[in-house]
């Protein structure tokens, strides 16, 4: 015997999704609760009601697969409502939508931005016919750009690059960092301090420590010593001699970075070495004091200095990569977002025209939008009445339509979201 399907506890909210079209709606619910289905049903119901027209709608998802799924659900939703014997006006709206369903934009946020830029290349200050780079090709071109930049920076004697190399930093160490700054081209990074530590002052402190430690060391270290200070002693002495001869800050920085946090085991400076316990305590205290008063302050300033050099190199390399893309008339996903946002933010006439064209935005997985993506949606949905000429409506806090919210499903299961701005 078939059991009667139980009505969901949130059915009244689900009913509102297909009956109220005069407000923004945000749906929050867990996976598998029917958000994408509800979004498709809302789109179809709004068309039947004469509130939406397919040519003025845009459904934005975050994967191509999700876009195909949404489009695949939308057409059956229209056909389902058509089979339900709607009114004559509703039938006409549904049939018009089905006959022109190709006019619906359904795709990823990056595809949507590319769509807008192809409509308005001159306004976006981008060459028509640009080519989009996928992730694989973009990574390949980014790696090539980094290698080319490193060679060019060395050849022209770019001081931050030469100082990094002098500090023992290898260009390959920055592969991931370069990818990160390119991925966030709209971000202003902290450049850090450009002042290196005082070589003479630091070297004087190191010499004082080393002389004092030498007075406390055993005549010979035990062959089976486990003390890290003793195991590093001879190499420290050799490297310090090189610093004395060359007086290079990079060598001193490398020495202290290598020594940093090296522990002293007291037994190998006392009874195990045939020395008094007091000797071990003095050596232990000396190493701790050198760490706190010499190494730690130096490392803090040294890291800030290296960070400053690295950011100067990475930002210049990022700009060079961007120029290469413009020269080749190719764009990556970051360009699509950044150029679209800049066009909408600075060109009020273009923004208003696109607001009229895309009157209803349906955004799947809205919680995954980053700030620049959210700003694009908010600018397209903005009410510019009373907004000063040239200002950004999304940043002035105005909204074209008063927001509302619906939340089917258990609040504890919130993990994904679907939003309609329209």
Confidence of residue 1 (pLDDT cuts 50, 70, 90): very low
- The arithmetic mean of pLDDT across residues 352-375, rounded, is 90
The answer to whether residue 312 is domain-embedded is no
Total domains in the chain come to: 3
**Measured distance CA(333)–CA(145) in Å, rounded:** 17
Quick check: is 160 in a domain? yes
Whether residue 147 is found in the same domain as residue 258: no
Q: Would you mind telling me the total number of residues written for the chain in this entry? A: 422
- For residue 39, being part of any structural domain is answered with yes
Average pLDDT for 238-254: 92
CATH code of the domain covering residue 389? 3.40.50.300
Q: Are 75 and 156 in a shared domain?
A: no
Query: 238 in a domain, yes or no?
Result: yes
Co-location of 292 and 368 in the same domain: no
Please say if the pLDDT value at position 395 is more than 80. Answer: no
Are 208 and 266 in a shared domain?
Answer: yes
Q: Where are the alpha helices (DSSP H) in 260-292?
A: 277-290
Q: Is residue 42 part of a domain?
A: yes
CA angle 329, 334, 336 (to 5 degrees): 60
pLDDT tens-digit map of 292-311 = 999 999 999 999 999 999 99
Do both 98 and 35 map to the same domain?
A: yes
Query: Last residue of some domain: 329, 364, 396?
Result: 329
Whether residues 94 and 171 share a domain: the answer is: no
Instruction: Please check the confidence at residue 404 and state whether its pLDDT lies above 50.
Output: no
Residue 398 has pLDDT above 50, yes or no: no
* pLDDT beyond 50 at 222: yes
For 258, the domain range is 199-305
311 belongs to a structural domain: no
Encode pLDDT of 377-388 as tens digits: 999 988 775 454
Residues 180 and 214 in one domain: no
Q: Is residue 390 part of a domain?
A: yes
Q: How many CB atoms lie within 10 A of CB 119?
A: 13
Do 180 and 207 belong together in one domain? Answer: no
> Do β-strands 330-331 and 131-132 pair in parallel, antiparallel, or remain unpaired?
parallel
The answer to whether residues 241 and 290 touch, using CB atoms and an 8 Å cutoff, is: no
Q: What is the pLDDT of residue 198?
A: 93
pTM of the predicted protein model: 0.75
Distances (CA, A) of 196 to 75, 200, 331: 64, 12, 38
In a domain, 142, yes or no: yes
Decide: residue 44, CB within 10 A, 0-12 exposed, 13-18 middle, 19+ buried. buried
Same domain? For 121 and 179 the reply is: no
Same domain for 205 and 224, yes or no, is yes
Q: Are residues 147 and 246 in the same domain?
A: no
Q: In terms of domains, do 171 and 204 share one? A: no
């Amino acid at each position: 015997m078939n059991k009667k399907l139980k009505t969901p506890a949130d059915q009244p909210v689900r009913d509102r999704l297909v009956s109220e079209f005069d407000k923004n709606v945000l749906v929050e619910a867990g996976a598998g609760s029917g958000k994408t289905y509800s979004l498709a049903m809302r789109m179809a119901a709004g068309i039947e009601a004469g509130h939406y027209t397919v040519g003025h709608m845009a459904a934005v998802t975050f994967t191509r697969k999700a876009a195909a799924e949404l489009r695949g659900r939308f057409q059956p939703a229209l056909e389902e409502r058509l089979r339900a014997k709607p009114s004559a006006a509703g039938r006409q709206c549904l049939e018009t939508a089905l006959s022109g369903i190709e006019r619906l934009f359904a795709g990823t946020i990056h595809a949507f931005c590319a769509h807008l830029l192809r409509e308005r290349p001159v306004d976006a200050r981008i060459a028509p016919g640009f080519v989009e780079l996928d992730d694989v090709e973009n990574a390949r071109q980014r790696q090539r750009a980094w290698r080319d930049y490193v060679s060019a920076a060395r050849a022209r004697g770019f001081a931050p690059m030469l100082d990094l190399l002098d500090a023992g930093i290898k260009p390959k160490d920055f592969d991931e960092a370069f990818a990160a700054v390119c991925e966030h081209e709209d971000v202003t990074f902290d450049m850090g301090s450009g002042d290196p530590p005082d070589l003479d002052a630091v070297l004087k402190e190191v010499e004082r420590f080393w002389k004092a430690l030498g007075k406390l060391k055993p005549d010979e270290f035990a062959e089976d010593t486990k003390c890290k200070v003793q195991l590093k002693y001879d190499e420290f002495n050799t490297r310090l001699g090189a610093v004395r001869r060359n007086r290079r800050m990079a060598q001193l920085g490398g020495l202290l970075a290598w020594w940093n946090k090296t522990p002293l085991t007291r037994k190998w400076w006392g009874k195990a070495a045939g020395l008094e316990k007091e000797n071990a305590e003095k050596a232990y205290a000396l190493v701790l004091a050198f760490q706190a008063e010499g190494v730690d302050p130096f490392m803090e300033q040294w890291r800030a200095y290296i960070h400053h050099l690295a950011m100067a190199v990475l930002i210049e390399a990022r700009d060079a990569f961007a120029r290469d893309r413009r020269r080749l008339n190719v764009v990556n996903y970051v360009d699509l977002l950044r150029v679209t946002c800049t066009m909408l933010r600075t060109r009020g006439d273009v923004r208003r025209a696109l607001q009229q064209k895309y009157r209803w935005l349906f955004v799947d997985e809205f919680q995954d939008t980053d700030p620049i993506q959210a700003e694009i949606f908010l600018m397209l949905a903005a009410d510019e009445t009373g907004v000063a000429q040239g200002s950004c409506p999304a940043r002035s806090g105005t909204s074209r339509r008063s927001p509302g919210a619906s939340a089917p499903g258990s609040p504890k299961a919130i993990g994904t979201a679907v939003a309609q701005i329209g």
